[in-house]
Amino acid sequence: MKNDQIPLPRLIVGLGNPGSEYEHTRHNTGVDFLMLLSDEWKIPMRSESRFFGMCGKGSIRDHEVRLLFPETFMNESGKSVGAVCSFYKIRPEEVLVVHDDLDLKPGQMKLRFGGGFAGHNGLKSIGQYFGNSQNFLRLRIGIGMPPSRDVISWVLGRPFGADKDATSAAFKCALGAMDVLYSKGLDRATMAVNGFKYQAE
């Protein structure tokens, strides 16, 4: 599907794990960005048991948007996304999922439609709800590879120092790109995200 055929997202999902012990860990990068987006556009979030997550409804550039943080654990994210999509009749191609990505360095991002799941349990779960379809939009935010092979400790740890600074800069760029997405379209937003290069001050 070409970018000009892809509808603007009606649902933006930020992936992460619930609970204070997981707050601001690398694996919660998606939900950290979602909460910044919620603040930026004054979209209040609240827990809704029927959707198994924190939900918000508001608008970005006069487009009605719903925000979702699945309060299931990561590998059951599809349960929450599925409940929202079923209730509001939202199609897969109208969903944007924001998530952490090991294959990108901190400060790197990619916005694209479709693609594989790259071993990400949250994406896998959502894809399973969509009948194993990969046809939804993703905002991949880099967390980098661990210096050792201990991936679990890495993704469940918190970034610090230069990595934290790079991620903060990426968040700022991505917030601007969401504005561009709803005002100027996916092509322009993709250029803003994919062309971002973090430079330490």
pLDDT tens digit at each of 201 positions of the chain: 677 789 999 999 999 999 999 999 999 999 999 999 999 999 999 999 999 999 999 999 999 999 999 999 999 999 999 999 999 999 999 999 999 999 999 999 999 998 877 778 899 999 998 887 788 999 999 999 998 889 999 999 999 999 999 999 999 999 999 999 999 999 999 999 999 989 876
Does the global pTM surpass 0.75? yes
Length of the chain: 201
- 27 noted as active-site residue: yes
Q: Among the options 27, 63, 99, 120, which is catalytic?
A: 27
Q: Is residue 51 a contact partner of residue 39, using CB atoms and an 8 Å limit?
A: no
Contacts of 62 (CB under 8 A, 6+ apart): 182
